Amino acid sequence: MDPIVATTVSVISAATPLLLAANGELVAEKAGVLNLGVEGMMLVGAVSGFAVTLITGSATLGILAAASAGALLALLFGLLTLGLMANQVATGLALTIFGVGVSSLVGAGFVGTPVERLPRLDIPGLSDLPVLGPLLFGHDALVYLSVAMVALTAWFLGRTRAGMILRACGENDEAAHALGYPVIAVRFAAVLFGGVMSGLAGAFLSLSYTPMWVEAMTAGRGWIALALVVFAAWRPWRLLIGAYLFGGVTILQLHAQGLGLFAVPSQVLSMLPYLATILVLTLIAAGSGRRRLDAPACLGRPFRPPA
Amino acid sequence: MSAPPNRLELRGITKRFPGVLANDRVDLAVRPGEIHALLGENGAGKSTLVKIVYGVLQPDEGEILWEGRRVEIRSPHQARRLGIGMVFQHFTLFEALSVRENIALGLEERYERGELERRIREVSEGYGLPLDPDRDVHTLSVGERQRIEILRCLLQNPRLLVMDEPTSVLTPQEVDRLFATLRRLAAEGCSILYISHKLEEVKALCERATILRGGRVVAVCDPRVETARSMAETMVGAAIREPARPAGRLKRAPRLLVDRLSLEPEDPFGTALRDITFLVRRGEIFGIAGVAGNGQDELLAALSGERPAPKPEMVRIGDARVGRLGPTARRRLGLCVIPEERNGHAAVPELTLTENALLSAHGRLQLLRLGFVRRRAVAAFARRIVERFDVRTPGIEVTAGSLSGGNLQKFVVGREILQNPEVLIAAQPTWGVDAGAAVAIHAALLELAERGTAVLVISQDLDELLALTDRLAVIHAGRLSRSFETRDVEIARIGMLMAGVEEPAPAEAS
C-alpha cells in the first residue's frame, strides 16, 4: 500500500474513538450536562468489550457489552447529578477515577491476551480499488458508525422536534420546564447516549485500534474528546474535522518517532496531541466573546424543578 | 336567561410550601372577554396562583372550573390545549434559538416549517407585532422578545391569556401598542388575567381586580373607580404615605461630573458609550431613562469603576478625577452603587447577609483591622440595615438568596445608604419589588438627597423617574440626550427619545 494511503488509513483509525466519544459528549452538553467522566466510561467500555469478545468469541456481543457498560456508568452519573443534584464537575472527575480503577480490576486477568481484531467490512471489487479502496472501504463497522452518528446527530439536533427540545433544555432549563418539557428526563437520555458512545469508543480501542487490553489504554483520549466538543463549538460536523485533525497529529507524531525525524526525545513528540489540545483551547478562549454564545447557556448548571 | 359561565373560576384554591401557605382558599372568577387584574405585594401568592392556572403547579385543595366545567390542569401542555396562554415575567425564551424555534417550542400543534413561518408572519402582521421568524433571539430587543411570547400565545387562539408584569420593560409607546393589542383581543372574546405592580396601568386597562394579601383574597374591586392609592393600601393592608414630590433644589455645587465619556463595549453585543456628559449636584436626584440594552449596564460599570474610563477626567467626584480608579478607591471617595441585578451583582446569593454587608462596606466603615474582619462590627452593621430598612428576614445569618426580591433590595439599598455616600448611583432600584418596598426605597433615596448626597437613578420605569427626580435625561444607543427639568417635561417627548425616534440633541456642557 502506498505509504500516504496507509498513513491516512491510520489517521482514520486514530480519529474514530475521539469522534465517537466526543459525539456522545456533545449531545449531553447540548442538553446542559457536563460529564467529565468520558475517560472513565471509555475505559470501562474498552475492558467490557474486550472481555466479552474474548469469552464469547463474538465481537458483536463485545460491542454491545461495551455500550452497556458505558451506559451503566452514565446512569450512575445521571442518578448522582440529575437525581441528587451532585456537582457535575466533581462527579465527572470521580467517574473517571472510578472507571480507571474498576477497568484495571476487571481487566487484570486479561492483560497481554490478544483478541481477534474487529472484522473489516470488505466489499468485493470496491475494496480492491487503488487508493480509494483502502481509504473508503474495508474499515470495520465502528468506523462507519462514528461518521454515520455525526450525520445522525446533526440531523437530530438541527431538524427534529425532539432535538430542538433537547437544545432548549440546555439553553434555558427553567423556561423549558415552564413550557412543560421534562428537563430531567431529556438530560438523562442525553447522558445515557453519551455513555453508550463513550463505551463504543472504548470498544474500538480494545477491539480494533490495538486489539488487546492494556491498563489505562485510553491514554487521555477521553479528555481530548471533551476538548474537541469545545473546539467544534458544539456543532457535529465540525467535530468530524476536529477529530480527524487530532487523529492526524497523533499519527504524525508516531511516524516522526518511528523515523527519528526530529532531534527531540520521543516523549516530547508523544506530548503533541495533548499540547495541541491545550493550544486549541487557549486560542478559543482568547477569541472569546462571540464564542461564549456557542456553549449551551445552562451547561453544567444543576436544575431542580420547583415543587 | 342565564349569563354565560365564567371563562375561568377558581374555588378555594390552597397551596402550601414548606413553612408557607402560598394560597389560602383563593376564589377568582374571570368572565369571557374581561381584562381582569390580579394584584398583590411580592409574596402575596400571585405567581403561585397563575402557575396553578397554567398547570406548572398543582393545588393542594380547591377546584378549577373552565367554562363551567370542572377540570384538573396537570401540565402546561394541558393548559394550552384548554386555550390558556401565558406570558411570563421572566421570558421563557431560548437565546441561541431562532424566533421560529422559540415559538414552535410553545405550541401544542406541530407545523411544517414553511406553514409555521407563514402563520407567524400572518398573525404578527395582523396584530401589528412584526417579527422575523429566522432571527436568533439574542439579537432582539426586549420589546421584540415580548412579542415572541405574545405571538406564541396568539398562534393557539387562546381564550384566556395570563400576563405576568408585561410592561415593566417597555417604552411608553410600546405599552400603548401592547394595550391596543390586549383590548382588541378582549373585544374578540379572549379573557385576560393581568398581573402588574403599576396601578395606574391597571386603572387604564382592567375592568375588575382581585387583590391578594398573604395568600388570601382581600378584595375584588373595579379599578376604574378606585384610586391607585386605595388599591395599594388594600394590597399592603396599611395606609401608605407617598413620598412628597421633591421641590426643585437650589443650584448647588456639582458632586458627580461625567465629561465626554466614550467607551467601547467589552461584550460584542454590548453598547458603546458615546460622549456621555452630565452632572449631578449635591442634594439633587438625576434620572437616566431608557429602554434596557441602550448602554445603561455599560454606563453603570464605567461609573462604579468596574470598567475604568479611558481618561481620568471623564469621571469626577467633586474635584477628584477618578476615571481610572477601581470600585474600592471610588467608594473611599464617597461613590456608592446599587447595581440592577440583586443576585450575583449587588449581593452574593450564597453568602449570608452579614457577609454581604461586609463586601461593599468594609472600606468606608472600617470593618477590617490589619486585614482581619471585625466580626462584631460587621454583624452590628448588618443588624442596623435590617432594622432601619425593615428587611423582613429571620436573621442576619441567612443567605441573601433566601430573601424575597423586595427584601433583598431593601437590604442592598440600606447597605449603600448607611455608608453615607457623597454620590449614590442606583440602577432600577425598585425592579420587581412590591409596592410597599418600592415606597420605602423611594423615601430612602429622597431622604438621602435631602441630606445633601448627589443621587443618580438609572431606570426603565419612567413613572419612577417622574416621581423621584429633579432632572432627567434619556439614554439611547449609548448616547445621552440633553437633560430636562422633570417638572415640565413632556412624557411623549421622553418616549420618543427612548424609542430613538428623535435624534438626541447634543449634550449640554458641564
For chain A, what is the mean pLDDT?
A: 89
Distance between CA atoms of residues B179 and B187, nearest Å: 12
Confidence of residue B1 (pLDDT cuts 50, 70, 90): very low
Q: Which among A194, A215, A189, A176 is positioned nearest to A297, based on CA atoms?
A: A176
Hey, which residues 166-195 in chain A have their CB within 8 Å of chain B?
A: 167-168, 171-172, 174-181
End-to-end CA distance of chain B: 71
| CA dihedral over B456, B461, B462, B463, signed as positive or negative | negative
Confidence of residue A262 (pLDDT cuts 50, 70, 90): low
Tens of pLDDT, residue by residue over A183-192, are 999 999 999 9
pLDDT confidence tier of residue B509, bands split at 50, 70 and 90: very low
Taking residues B166-180, report their average pLDDT.
Answer: 77
C-beta atoms of A297 and B104 within 8 A: no
Buried-state track B339-370, b at ≥16 Cβ within 10 A, e below 16? bbebeebbbeeeebbbbbbbebbbebbebeee
Q: B224-238, pLDDT tens digit by residue?
A: 998 888 888 888 777
Closest partner residue to B92 (CB to CB) among A161, A164, A175 is A175
Residues B391, B393, B398, B402: is their CA dihedral positive or negative? negative
- Report which of residues A282 and B302 the model is more confident about: B302
Q: Cα–Cα distances in Å, from B28 out to B54, B66, B224?
A: 14, 12, 19
* Closest residue, chain B, to A172 (C-alpha): B94
For B355-409, the pLDDT digits (tens) are 999 998 888 888 888 889 999 999 999 999 999 888 888 889 998 888 877 789 8
Question: Which of A172, A179, A307 is closest, CB to CB, to B17?
Answer: A307
Closest partner residue to B105 (CB to CB) among A168, A306, A307 is: A168
Q: Which residue in this structure is represented by grid cell 469522534?
A: A19
Query: How far is the C-alpha of B33 from the C-alpha of B75, rounded, in Å?
Result: 24
CB contact under 8 A, B55 and A180: yes
Q: Which H or E run includes B163? A: strand B160-164
Q: What is the pLDDT of residue B510?
A: 40
Packing angle, helices A221-231 and A266-286, rounded to 10: 30
Sign of the four-CA dihedral A273, A279, A281, A284: negative
Residues of B with Cβ-Cβ distance to A179 under 8 angstroms: 76, 92, 105-106
How many C-beta neighbours within 10 Å does residue A263 have? 5
Residue A232 has pLDDT above 70, yes or no: yes
Least confident of A36-40, A126-130, B325-329, B437-441: A126-130
Which amino acid type is present at position A248?
Answer: G
pLDDT value at position B78? 92
What is the pairing mode between strands B273-281 and B285-289? unpaired
Could you say which of A165, A290, A307 has the minimum Cβ distance to residue B105?
A: A165
Q: Give the three cell numbers for residue A156.
A: 437530530
Q: Which of B57, B76, B104 sits opposite A180 (nearest CB)?
A: B76
DSSP element (H, E) containing B280: strand B273-281
Q: Which helix (H) or strand (E) holds A184?
A: helix A183-204
The pTM (predicted TM-score) of the whole model is: 0.74
Grouping H, G, I as helix, E, B as strand and the rest as coil, residue B95 is coil
Q: How far is A202 from chain B (nearest CA, A)?
A: 33
Indicate whether B244 pLDDT > 60.
Answer: no
Name the minimum distance, in Å, from the CA of B78 to any CA of chain A.
9
Q: Do B97 and A171 touch (CB under 8 A)?
A: yes
Whether residue B75 and residue A180 make contact (CB cut-off 8 A), yes or no, is yes
Task: State whether B92 and A178 contact (CB < 8 Å).
Answer: yes
Q: What is the mean pLDDT of residues A47-68?
A: 95
Mean pLDDT of B264-282: 87
d(CA A74, CA A41): 7
**Domain residue extents for chain A:** 2-118+140-292
d(CA B389, CA A184): 40
Give the count of beta carbons closer than 10 Å to the beta carbon of residue B455: 26
Confirm if B213 and B26 have CB atoms less than 8 A apart. no
Distance, CA of A176 to CA of A169 (rounded, Å): 6
Name the 3-class secondary structure at B153: helix
3-state secondary structure of A121: coil
Instruction: Give Cβ neighbours of residue B126 (< 8 Å, ≥ 6 apart).
Output: none
The nearest alpha carbon in chain B to A167 belongs to B97
d(CA B463, CA B470): 13
Query: How many angstroms separate the CA of residue B90 from the nearest CA in chain A?
Result: 9
CB atoms within 10 A of CB A96: 22
- pLDDT at B165 (0 to 100): 79
pLDDT band (50, 70, 90) for residue A27:
very high
Interchain CB contact of A306 with B (< 8 Å): yes
CB B94 to CB A172 under 8 A? yes
Give the pLDDT of residue A1.
60
Cell matching residue B128: 401589528
- Mark yes or no for CB contact A293/B95 under 8 Å: yes
Q: Taking CB atoms and an 8 Å limit, are B105 and A176 in contact across chains?
A: yes
pLDDT given for residue A292 in this prediction: 55
CB nearest A168 (choices: B77, B90, B97): B97
**Grid cell of B158 as nine digits:** 387562546
> Which range (A129-143, A160-174, B239-253, B338-352) has the least confidence?
B239-253
User: Are the C-beta atoms of residues B323 and B309 closer than 8 Å to each other?
Assistant: yes
Q: Which CATH architecture has domain A2-118+140-292?
A: Orthogonal Bundle (1.10)
At B88-136, the pLDDT tens digits run: 776 788 988 999 999 999 887 788 878 888 888 888 887 777 888 888 8
Q: What is the CA radius of gyration of chain A?
A: 19
Q: Closest by alpha carbon to A151, among A235, A244, A225?
A: A235
Name the pLDDT band for B249 (thresholds 50, 70, 90): low
Chain B residues in contact with A306 by the CB 8 A cut-off are 56-57
Contact B77 A180 (CB under 8 A): yes
